[in-house]
Amino acid sequence: MNKRERFLLEMMKNIIMPYEAAQVYEEEIVGEFENRFETEYFEYFFTLIKKEGLILDLACGDGRHTLKLSKRANHVIALDLSLNNLKMAKEKCKARDNITFIKGSIFDIPFRENIFDGIWFSQAFEYVPPDRRKEFLYSIRRILKPGGILYMSVETWMHPKFWDSLKELLRDLKLFCYWKFLKKKPLLFGEFLYYLQAEKIKANYSGWHYHVHTDKWTLCKLLVSSKFIIDKMDLYDGIIYVLCRKAR
């Protein structure tokens, strides 16, 4: 195992820690979307699917969207690596009987080919290292039916306003350089670690947390090279929203 592989193994353990320590839901209001873009993309997601099929809520977290998905789909499979997240999600969705909860990793997806009509993947792409993105997207494509729909919301340094984008990019670069050159971590461009404070995440955890940001151009290139057709994409408040479908 080389230095990069050891680092990623360490970071995969790092990622799960604040979620296992979380004490409350991310949302104060169960079932609500963060903004109009989430609502709009949710509606468009089911417009493209055109039937109430089988949906995968990938990295479902504490069930922030699982409940809404279950009201529109025949069945939802909600997968997350954190047992604590799954416990909270089950409690949030206890009134629904068309959800199956599975403990699993986004890097080892345990499903056969061409099974899902749609995949909902909200704000977890920031945990996919740059050198694992293509492998990850191919694994997503494999389990979607031909023409199946993929929704992603992806953290980015980009904002609609130029100066906001520049400020965020410089912040990312500062953290990247600190860990890359001072701490000698084998980071790739876009990766960084930032400090989480327990009171801000409402959890019994504080410490450095792994993240990776991308941009619209890189994301588009990755999706197209992975044989997805992009139907809709928007940028809002440091998040890229995208809906695409598996090429037939």
**For the domain that residue 143 is a member of, what is the CATH number?**
3.40.50.150
Q: How far apart are CA 114 and CA 63, in angstroms?
A: 24
Task: Quote the domain boundaries for residue 131.
Answer: 3-246
Q: Which residues partner with 155 through β-bridges?
A: 239
Instruction: Give 218's contacts (C-beta < 8 A, 6+ positions apart).
Output: none
SS (H, E, C) 168-232: HHHHHHHHHHHHHHHCCCCCCCCEEEEEECHHHHCECCCEEEEEECECHHHHHHHHHHCCEEEEE
What DSSP assignment string belongs to 94-134? Answer: TT-SSEEEEE--TTS----TT-EEEEEEES-GGGS-GGGHH
> Quick check: 207 and 196 in contact, CB under 8 A?
yes
What's the pLDDT tens digit per position in 87-135?
Answer: 999 999 999 999 999 999 999 999 999 999 999 999 999 999 999 999 9
Query: Residue 35: pLDDT above 70?
Result: yes
Q: State the average pLDDT for the chain.
A: 92
CA angle 188, 212, 136 (to 5 degrees): 90
User: If we measure between CA atoms, which residue out of 225, 220, 210 comes closest to residue 241?
Assistant: 220
Query: Residue 186: pLDDT above 70?
Result: yes
CA angle 91, 95, 96 (to 5 degrees): 105
pLDDT of residue 248: 81
Q: For residue 30, name the pLDDT band (cuts at 50, 70, 90).
A: very low
The number of folded domains in the chain is 1
Amino acid identity, position 236 = Y
What's the pLDDT tens digit per position in 55-68?
Answer: 999 999 999 899 99
The share of the chain scoring above pLDDT 70, in percent, equals: 93
Q: Which tokens in the block code for residue 42?
A: 């949710």
Query: Residue 237: pLDDT above 80?
Result: yes
> Quick check: 63 and 84 in contact, CB under 8 A?
no
Is the pTM higher than 0.75? The answer reads yes
